[in-house]
Chain A
Amino acid sequence: MTYALVDCNSFYASCERIFRPDLKTKPVVVLSNNDGCVVALSKEAKELGIKMCEPWFKIKDQFIRQGGVAFSSNYELYADISSRVMQTLEQLAPKIEIYSIDEAFLDLKGIDSCMQLDQFGSQCRDTIQQWVGMPVSVGIGPTKTLAKVAQYGAKKYTKTNGVVDLSGQERQKKLMSLMPVGEVWGVGKKINKRLNELGIFTALELSEMNIQFIKKKFSSVLGRTVMELRGHSCIGLDEQRPIKKQIMVSRTFSKQVRDLDSINEAVSDYAVRACEKLRKENQYCTIASVFIRTNYFRKQDKQYSGMLSYKLPYPTNDSRDILFAVKSISKKIFRENYNFIKAGVLLSDFYDEGVHQPDLFASQEKGRRGGKELMQTIDRINSSGLGKISFAAQGIKKSWSMKRQFQSPRYSTNLQELLVVK
């Protein structure tokens, strides 16, 4: 077996740079929802000593003085760029597994007979850079875990030009001896600490452990990792994107909220968003849940969190049905005199269209008449970029909505926000 792992370098920050050539060498950070903390940073920002998850207000002044540029997260842009990277990979490799928004595993079976593997890696890297504008690093190895080791090397050592082929055992051992065990795929913080206590500090040391000992002391999952580090492939390619089993939309408010009207608006807004996602997956749900909670970190405040679910009489993806459900829940879980900071809507128990056995006596066993067409029309208008249709329940002022002070335009998904050239 031969696998490759293709990983985008500083993905969010690189997305922002595609449309901003002036930022090519500047430090760039991307902030979390509500511009709270740093969730992505470019190499240049790392070199300034900025760390992931650092609160924005702490680094803001100095970062800007040093010429840095910050962005609020622009998920429309990131999702579009991600799908372009994946589409490009689909054309280059026979089989791919989309592992996350910025990583994919490729099955390179058959490719080694046509060309050198590191050559193939460079081809992936150059094509994605040229077509999409995204820098990536590529790791190649006989197992997925070793492909991850290779990719670690490709990212860390600039001499590699972003491509490392770990087909040979000698190179595997050399790189593993330089790699901290905590960086190995599947080794989390806790396991890392326990391994360190046993005197295991590098990937190589882990690969030389007795399998039975690891299985007994840790888990069979870590045993599998050891096998994979030794070059025995245990984890195959997972090509099928699993159908989502639930959809969650939750957000932190920009300020504390104390009244039911605002909670209702927020929850309705999230519900409409969740329904859009549900319709995109062509699914219907029968359970809608809502939660609201106060800010755990404000010790001086009274704390409360509430959650409740609503069983719908028939599977639906009609925003009006879900709105009705979530509003009746939020009324029940709301409490006076609390400072709420976050709310969320969760849809679950999914059905394909027409699969559900309807209740013979339910009055609307098929949902609202013309509902499907209405929802399709709304989705079409909202995705056209020409206008927005929203439900009155979502509110107009949205004083609770997220702060996104530094958001870049949706260059690639909205006609009104295209890049302007002279």
Chain B
Amino acid sequence: MTIDYLGNATEEDLPLLKIPYFLNTVRVGWPSPADDYIERPIDLNEYLIKNIAATYFVRVSGDSMINAHIGDGAILIVDRSIEPKNKMIVIASIDGSYTCKRLILKPKVCLVSENPKYSPILIAKESELEIAGSVIAAINTY
């Protein structure tokens, strides 16, 4: 890179320096007695998230989990570090896309919707099932 020196940038752009004339008096007072009682505001992250590195948020589309109180547009909190167990709500990858369903391991492995409109998805081979994480909370807004 070549550098062209074009003069000092400050010479015309800087405002004139105003020298302050001190007339203020100094105020002295007691600190507020309430200072000792200041608490931190409530932090929902602290309540909802156990393992930040492994937690993702996803948004729900559709009504397939409505009976589990997961409505259309709800935000799910997914913790990938929690091992999915029987009857847990999980995020699973089916045919190249992610879906939210209840995981059933017995007597047969399947993914079940919480809406009678949809039939369960049977998993023929366990190796075909890929669980991305366990849903630990759902946030619905009204």
Q: Which residues of A contact B (CB under 8 A)?
A: 19, 21-22, 24, 83-85, 87-88, 91, 127, 130-133, 291, 293, 305-311, 313, 324-325, 328-329, 332-333, 361-363, 411-412, 415, 418-422
Contacts and interface: CB of A to CB of B under 8 A. Distances in A.
Contact of A420 (B2, B58, B64, B132): B58
Interface of B: 1-4, 6-7, 9-10, 13-15, 17-20, 51-54, 56-62, 64, 75-76, 80-81, 91, 93, 96-100, 130, 132
Given A21-B93, A133-B80, A415-B57, A422 B100 contact: yes
Given A88-B54, A415-B57, A421-B58, A22 B3 contact: no
Contacts of B60: 420-422
B81 A418 contact: no
Given A291-B1, A309-B9, A422-B99, A131 B62 contact: no
Given A329-B9, A418-B58, 15 more contacts: A87-B53, A130-B54, A132-B53, A132-B80, A133-B132, A307-B4, A308-B6, A310-B10, A324-B13, A332-B9, A362-B17, A363-B20, A415-B75, A421-B58, A422-B60
Nearest to B3: A307
Q: For A309, A361, A421, A422, which residue has the most chain B Cβ atoms within 10 angstroms?
A: A421
A313 B14 contact: yes
A416 to B, nearest CB: 9
B90 to A, nearest CB: 10
Contacts of A83: 53
Contacts of A306: 3-4, 6
Contacts of A305: 1-3
B61 A421 contact: yes
Given A418-B59, A419-B98, A420-B61, A131 B6 contact: no
B1 A307 contact: yes
A273 to B, nearest CB: 21
Nearest to A306: B4
B81 A131 contact: yes
17 contacts: A84-B53, A87-B53, A133-B132, A307-B1, A325-B9, A329-B9, A333-B4, A333-B6, A361-B19, A361-B20, A363-B15, A411-B56, A415-B57, A420-B61, A421-B61, A422-B60, A422-B97
A362 B10 CA distance: 14
Contacts of A363: 15, 17-20
A329 B75 CA distance: 47
B18 to A, nearest CB: 4
Contacts of A307: 1, 3-4
A361 B53 contact: no
